[in-house]
C-alpha cells in the first residue's frame, strides 16, 4: 500500500508532546510491513534546519497561493538509506523559522499553507497514495483541499483523519476562507461550525474515515462532556470512526539499552537494577536516599486536563505517607507555581523540575517505583505505557487510553497492571494511591511480580500498526 502521512511534528526532528512520538513510530512501523511505502510530510522548522544530525537534500521549490499571498514552498528530503520510508520537509522561513512550533497569531494561516503545500508537493513528486493520513487540527484542512482544489490530482486517494486531542480544533474567524484559504463558496458549510471556521470539524465531515488513539476515547468523544462540542458531528461518522490504541517505540524507550540510564535492566534483572537506578535518581533529584520509601513520579505537561488540580488537592495527604514524589514538566504558570510551593514544603521528599528533558525523563521512568497519571481526560497517553515498559507501576484515572491500557490490579488473583480510580475526584485518587502504597508496604514480592509482568507486556507498535492497516484496507474498500 502507498501511504502518505502529514503531521505538524515528529520526533526526533521536532516534538512538543505525544503526537511527536507517535509520528516517529507509526510511519516507521507501517513501513516495516510488507508491501508498504510511506512518505511522511513535516514542516521544516528553523531549529532543525541547521542541525547536522538531520541532513537533507533539496528537491525543488515553487509557490502556492493563499488568496492574494504568493507563498514560497521549498521541498527537502531527509538523507537516509531507508527505501520504504521517506521523510519530506516543507520549507518556508516566514512561517516556520520561529522559536516554537505553535502559539502564534497566524497559526491558522501557517498550517493552511502547510496543508496546501503537502498536496502540491505530493503532486510534484507524482506520489499518489492509496491513503493519506492526517493528524490533529494542523493538517485537518488536507482532506478538504484534497476533495476541492486538488480533486483532479488525487482521484483515487482516500483520507483518514486522526484525532490525538479534541481540545485543539483550529478555530478561525468566519472570513478566514475569503482571507486565507480561498475555497469556492460551496465549501463554506463544510468549514463552518457555528459562526466560525473550524478545521477539525471540516476534516471530520470530509475524511473517508476518522480515527482516534484509543477505543475508550472513541466512545467518550461521542458525549459532550469529552468532545468539546464535537460529539454530534462525530456521532454522524460513527460508522467510519475507529479507535486504535497507540504503542511506544520500544527502540527509543528501552531500559535494556537506553544511553540515558546508569543501570540497564530487563524483567529478569528488574529488582536489583531498578534499586540502583532509584538510588542514583534520588541523588540526582535531591531526594532522601531511602531505598524502602516508594518513589512516585510524574512526567507531564502541567496542564489542566492532566489532572494537576487533583494532585494539588491530595498533595499534603500524600506527603503525610511514607512516600516520595518527583515531578518533571513544564506548563501553565499557576501549576508550576503551586507544585513548586509544595515541593519547597517537603524537602527531600518531594521535588519538582520545571523542565522538558527527555533524558532525565528516561531516568525517572527507570528509577521510580510507581507512576501517577490522574488525567481528567486522556486520548491515549504514552507515559503509562513507557512506565509499564520500565517496570514502574501506574496509578491512573480510568479514562480514555488509560482505561484501555491499565487494567486494575486484583490482589486476590494477581491479575491487572496497575491501580485505577473511576470518578474524577481527589478522594478516589488518594484511595488508589493508598491501595498502591499498601501493596508496596505489605507484599513487596507481589509488587515486584506486578512490575515484572507490566514490563513483559507488548506495548510496541506491532499490533497498532496492523490495526491501522486493517482500517486503511476498509477505507480503500
Q: Given the rule CB under 6 A, which residues bind ligand GLC?
A: 17-19, 22, 164-165, 213, 246, 378-382, 401
Q: Which one, of 176, 42, 199, 51, lies nearest residue 121 by Cα?
A: 42
Nearest to ligand GLC of 198, 403 (CB atom): 403
- The residue among 7 and 437 lying less far from ligand GLC, judged by its C-beta, is 7
User: Cβ 381 to ligand GLC, closest distance in Å?
Assistant: 5
Nearer to ligand GLC, 124 or 168 (CB): 168
Q: How far is CA 365 from CA 126, 129, 433, in A?
A: 44, 39, 18
Smallest distance from the beta carbon of 174 to ligand GLC, in angstroms? 28
Min separation Cβ 395 and ligand GLC, Å: 17
User: CB-wise, 43 or 379, nearer to ligand GLC?
Assistant: 379
How far apart are CB 45 and ligand GLC at their closest, in Å?
18
In angstroms, give the least distance from the CB of 413 to ligand GLC: 29
Nearer to ligand GLC, 19 or 142 (CB): 19
Q: Find the shortest distance in angstroms from Cβ 434 to ligand GLC.
A: 26
From residue 267, how far is each of 158, 273, 292, 460 by CA, in Å? 42, 10, 20, 16
Q: How far is CA 287 from CA 2, 226, 296, 351, 433, in A?
A: 51, 37, 12, 7, 20
Q: Least CB distance from residue 237 to ligand GLC, whole Å?
A: 19
Close Cβ partners of 389 (under 8 Å, ≥ 6 residues apart): 248, 250, 253, 255, 454, 455, 457, 459
Burial 348-380 (b: 16+ CB within 10 A, else e): ebbbbbbebbbebbbbbbbbbbbbbbbbbbbbb
Smallest distance from ligand GLC to CB 406, Å: 13
Instruction: Show Cβ contacts of residue 431 under 8 Å, excluding neighbours closer than 6 positions.
Output: 421
Nearer to ligand GLC, 262 or 304 (CB): 304
CB 407 within 8 A of CB 416: yes
Smallest gap from residue 135 Cβ to ligand GLC (A): 8
* CB of residue 139 to ligand GLC, shortest distance in Å: 14
User: Which C-beta is closer to ligand GLC: that of 328 or that of 382?
Assistant: 382
Question: Is the CB of 294 or the CB of 379 nearer to ligand GLC?
Answer: 379
Question: 166 vs 172, which CB is nearer to ligand GLC?
Answer: 166
Nearer to ligand GLC, 159 or 403 (CB): 403
Nearer to ligand GLC, 117 or 221 (CB): 221
Q: How far is the CB of 18 from ligand GLC (least distance, A)?
A: 3
Q: Which residues contact 19 (CB under 8 A, 6 or more apart)?
A: 7, 8, 9, 135, 136, 164, 165
**Shortest distance, position 307 Cβ to ligand GLC, whole Å:** 12
- CA–CA gap between residue 129 and residue 88 (Å, rounded): 15
Question: Based on CB atoms, which residue is closest to ligand GLC, 248 or 437?
Answer: 248
Angle, in degrees to the nearest 10, between helices 426-442 and 308-319: 50
Which residue's entry shows cell 458549510?
189
Amino acid at each position: 500500500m502507498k501511504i502518505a502521512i502529514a503531521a505538524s511534528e515528529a520526533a526526533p526532528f521536532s516534538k512538543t508532546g505525544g503526537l511527536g512520538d507517535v509520528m516517529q513510530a507509526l510511519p516507521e512501523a507501517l513501513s516495516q510491513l510488507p508491501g508498504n511505502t510511506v512518505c511522511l510530510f513535516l514542516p521544516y522548522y528553523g531549529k532543525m534546519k541547521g542541525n547536522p544530525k538531520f541532513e537533507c537534500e533539496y528537491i525543488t521549490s515553487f509557490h502556492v497561493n493563499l488568496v492574494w499571498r504568493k507563498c514560497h514552498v521549498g521541498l527537502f528530503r531527509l538523507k537516509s538509506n531507508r527505501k520504504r520510508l521517506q521523510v519530506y520537509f516543507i520549507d518556508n522561513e516566514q512561517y516556520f523559522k520561529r522559536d516554537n512550533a505553535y502559539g502564534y497569531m497566524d497559526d491558522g494561516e501557517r498550517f493552511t499553507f502547510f496543508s496546501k503545500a503537502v498536496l502540491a508537493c505530493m503532486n510534484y513528486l507524482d506520489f499518489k497514495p492509496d491513503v493519506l493520513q492526517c493528524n490533529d487540527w494542523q493538517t485537518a484542512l488536507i482532506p478538504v483541499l484534497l476533495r476541492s482544489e486538488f480533486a483532479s490530482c488525487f482521484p483515487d486517494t482516500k483520507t483518514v483523519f486522526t484525532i490525538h486531542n479534541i481540545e485543539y480544533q483550529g478555530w478561525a474567524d468566519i472570513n478566514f476562507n475569503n482571507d486565507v484559504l480561498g475555497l469556492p463558496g460551496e465549501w463554506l458549510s463544510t468549514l463552518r461550525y457555528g459562526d466560525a471556521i473550524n478545521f477539525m470539524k471540516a476534516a471530520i465531515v470530509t475524511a473517508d474515515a476518522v480515527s482516534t488513539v484509543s477505543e475508550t476515547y472513541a466512545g467518550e468523544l461521542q458525549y459532550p462532556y469529552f468532545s468539546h462540542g464535537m460529539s454530534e458531528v462525530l456521532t454522524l461518522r460513527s460508522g467510519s470512526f475507529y479507535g486504535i490504541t497507540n504503542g511506544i517505540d520500544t527502540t527509543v524507550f528501552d531500559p535494556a539499552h537506553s544511553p540515558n540510564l546508569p543501570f540497564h535492566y530487563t524483567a529478569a534483572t528488574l529488582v536489583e537494577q531498578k534499586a540502583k537506578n532509584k538510588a542514583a535518581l534520588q541523588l540526582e533529584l535531591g531526594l532522601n536516599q531511602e531505598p524502602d520509601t516508594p518513589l512516585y513520579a510524574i512526567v507531564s505537561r502541567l496542564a489542566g486536563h492532566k489532572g494537576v488540580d487533583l494532585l494539588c488537592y491530595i498533595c499534603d495527604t500524600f506527603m503525610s505517607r511514607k512516600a516520595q514524589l518527583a515531578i518533571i514538566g513544564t506548563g501553565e504558570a499557576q501549576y508550576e507555581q503551586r507544585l513548586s510551593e509544595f515541593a519547597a514544603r517537603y524537602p527531600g521528599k518531594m521535588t519538582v523540575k520545571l523542565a522538558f528533558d527527555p533524558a532525565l525523563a528516561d531516568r525517572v521512568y527507570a528509577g521510580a517505583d510507581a507512576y501517577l497519571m490522574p488525567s481528567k481526560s486522556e486520548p491515549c497517553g504514552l507515559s503509562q505505557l513507557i512506565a509499564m515498559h520500565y517496570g514502574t507501576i501506574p496509578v491512573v484515572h480510568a479514562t480514555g487510553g488509560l482505561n484501555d491500557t491499565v487494567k486494575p490490579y486484583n490482589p486476590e488473583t494477581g491479575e491487572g497492571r496497575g491501580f485505577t480510580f473511576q470518578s474524577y475526584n481527589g478522594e478516589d485518587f488518594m484511595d488508589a494511591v493508598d491501595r498502591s502504597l499498601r501493596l508496596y508496604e505489605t507484599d513487596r514480592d507481589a509488587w515486584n511480580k506486578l512490575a515484572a509482568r507490566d514490563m513483559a507486556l507488548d506495548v510496541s507498535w506491532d499490533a497498532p500498526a496492523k490495526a491501522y492497516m486493517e482500517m486503511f484496507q476498509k477505507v480503500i474498500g
